[in-house]
Amino acid sequence: MKSSDKREDFKLDLPRRPRRMRRTASLRGMMQETYVRVEDLIAPLIVKESGEKEPVGSMPGLFRLNIEDLVAECRELAGLGVLAVAIFPNMDASLKDAEGSEAGNPETLTLRAVKAIKEAVPEISVITDVALDPYTSHGHDGVLNAEGSYVMNDETVARLCEMAVLQAKAGVDIVAPSDMMDGRVGAIREALDEAGYIDTAIMAYSAKFASAYYGPYREAVGSASAAGTTLLGKETYQMNPANRREAIMDALMDEDEGADFVMVKPAGAYLDIIRELRDASQVTLAAYQVSGEYAQIHAAAKLGWLDYEKTRDESLLAIKRAGADVILTYFAKEVAKKLRA
């Protein structure tokens, strides 16, 4: 601007003015590249043995549900168009031991819950967690060595195969190993095929980071009280949050071993991993917006520091934009309701 120019006479000679397409709602609508759809959402649900529904303190709106209430919740979700639920058990402390023996019980809570859902709401896909942490007294995802200092890989994988076959037998559509043991996807695929469950799919928690964002979940399923802490260190099996190449490598291994989905978890703090994996892999990509991501938005909104709905919707849109095909999120039901309205 020359000092002689009046401000109103000042004109930029621009070949392109991006704001031109932001002027009206209609123009902005045509420009929108990414949408969150009901079909993208998977609802994680917590099942418990009996009693009234119980709120989870650090996760407002999430409840531990008995099987009957869980089935009702699945019916409502299916009615809203949600395609899948992921079931996690809140186990009574009396059923936990160092080996997580209860995971091998053919009548364990999760399996009864799966049968009840598939009977009442067959159209909703049911995903079950394959990991020992809800069942172990120490809260780790596997079996410990004699010194109690290290989670043993191959011994744990053998247990996971057993769990996955029991889940398939109960009628689950997708088994989801969340344990991060090496070689478990291939071993589970083989065990399922051998038992005749060739159509049971595998959603591999492939790039699962050793994250502080899991704290509220550990309260929800009770693995924190068993272990005496929400910050149990799982870094000998979950991934280092600093590592990008390792995450892609491990996820591609899962794909090679036969995973039908690969997953990045948590989601919001790992959008770069989601994008890179979407570009590197050919299978369906899931992202898990975990308990701490949910709790964070609720907490800030409660303090009046963030707008709840806008922050929630933006957090999901960002995960979708990064490249996720489906999103496991505790916001699933309320967002489905909003999208349906």
320 catalytic? Reply is: no
Name the pairing type of β-strands 54-55 and 63-65: antiparallel
Closest to ligand PBG by CB, 134 vs 323, is 134
Residue 203 parent element (H or E):
strand 201-208
Q: Does 214 bind ligand PBG (CB under 6 A)?
A: yes
57's CB contacts (< 8 A; 6+ apart) are 219
Selected catalytic residue, list 118, 234, 265, 320: 265
d(CA 137, CA 183): 24
d(CA 87, CA 117): 10
Selected catalytic residue, list 48, 96, 118, 208: 208
At position 81, the amino acid (one-letter code) is G
* Binding residues for ligand PBG restricted to 296-325, rule: CB under 6 A: none
Q: Does 291 bind ligand PBG (CB under 6 A)?
A: yes
Q: Does 40 bind ligand PBG (CB under 6 A)?
A: no
Q: Does 102 bind ligand PBG (CB under 6 A)?
A: no
SS3 150: coil
Asked if residue 65 lies in contact with residue 53, where contact means CB atoms within 8 angstroms, the answer is: yes
d(CA 211, CA 231): 9
Q: Does 160 bind ligand PBG (CB under 6 A)?
A: no
- Nearest approach, Cβ of residue 267 and ligand PBG (Å): 10
Which tokens belong to 245?
A: 């190449």
Residue nearest to ligand PBG (CB): 217
Which runs of consecutive H residues, i.e. helices, occur in 257-326?
271-280, 291-302, 308-322
Ramachandran angles phi, psi of 328, nearest 5°:
-80, 120
- Nearest approach, Cβ of residue 1 and ligand PBG (Å): 53
Q: Tokens 């899948």 — which residue?
A: 84
Q: Does 218 bind ligand PBG (CB under 6 A)?
A: yes
Asked if residue 267 lies in contact with residue 319, where contact means CB atoms within 8 angstroms, the answer is: yes
Q: Does 255 bind ligand PBG (CB under 6 A)?
A: no
Q: Does 290 bind ligand PBG (CB under 6 A)?
A: yes
Of the residues 136, 178, 206, 315, which one makes contact with ligand PBG according to CB under 6 A: 178
- Nearest approach, Cβ of residue 289 and ligand PBG (Å): 8
- Nearest approach, Cβ of residue 90 and ligand PBG (Å): 12
SS3 46: strand
Asked if residue 165 lies in contact with residue 192, where contact means CB atoms within 8 angstroms, the answer is: yes
Q: Does 73 bind ligand PBG (CB under 6 A)?
A: no
Closest to ligand PBG by CB, 197 vs 237, is 237
d(CA 44, CA 62): 9
Q: Does 58 bind ligand PBG (CB under 6 A)?
A: no
Q: Tokens 């004109």 — which residue?
A: 11
- Nearest approach, Cβ of residue 189 and ligand PBG (Å): 19
234 catalytic? Reply is: no
Q: Angle, to 10 degrees, between the axis of helix 184-194 and the axis of helix 153-170?
A: 40
Count of residues binding ligand PBG (CB under 6 A)? 13
Asked if residue 133 lies in contact with residue 139, where contact means CB atoms within 8 angstroms, the answer is: yes
Q: Does 234 bind ligand PBG (CB under 6 A)?
A: yes
Closest to ligand PBG by CB, 197 vs 214, is 214
Closest to ligand PBG by CB, 99 vs 120, is 99
Q: Does 206 bind ligand PBG (CB under 6 A)?
A: no
Q: Which stretch binds ligand PBG (CB under 6 A): 24-32, 33-41, 101-109, 126-134?
A: 126-134
Of the residues 131, 151, 227, 326, which one makes contact with ligand PBG according to CB under 6 A: 131
- Give the residue numbers marked as catalytic: 208, 265
Please give the residue ranges that form the binding site for ligand PBG (CB under 6 A): 129, 131, 133, 141, 178-179, 214, 217-218, 223, 234, 290-291
